[in-house]
Amino acid sequence: MARVKRGAKRRARRAKYLKQAKGYWGAKSSNYRIAKEAVEKSLLYAYRDRRNKKRDFRRLWIIRVKAASEENGLSYSRFINGLKKLHIDLDRKVLADLAVHFPSAFAALVQKVKAASA
């Protein structure tokens, strides 16, 4: 069987990892073995945190909507339940944006929900 030395292929693969590790501290940016571990770990963190970011933003939106609805005299759960009963399909992102940038429009929504529940 023929001997395989992998000259160019190996160099290209190692260069790819070292390029991704550019800017890392110490041996993580220059030593291939350590750089490979650091890059693979950072890719795992990036994958995980792309999912966690969605959770974090949803939590933030819920906190903002809760604060604004309680400011207008209605609990968060009653507000969301009232919106569902009225068939007002606004997601939490839009509700949070209304609460922060257009408080009068948000207050009108709360009044609608209050009137429907009374």
User: What's the predicted TM-score (pTM) here?
Assistant: 0.78
Question: Model confidence over 56-96: pLDDT tens digits?
Answer: 999 999 999 999 999 999 999 999 999 999 999 999 999 99
Residue of 60, 71, 61 lying closest to 107 (CA atoms): 71
Cβ–Cβ under 8 Å, residues 65 and 94: no
pLDDT digits (tens, 9 = 90+) for 14-60: 999 999 999 999 999 999 999 999 999 999 999 999 999 999 999 99
Burial class of 28 by CB neighbour count within 10 A (0 to 12, 13 to 18, 19+): middle
Phi, psi torsion values for 24, nearest 5 degrees = -70, 155
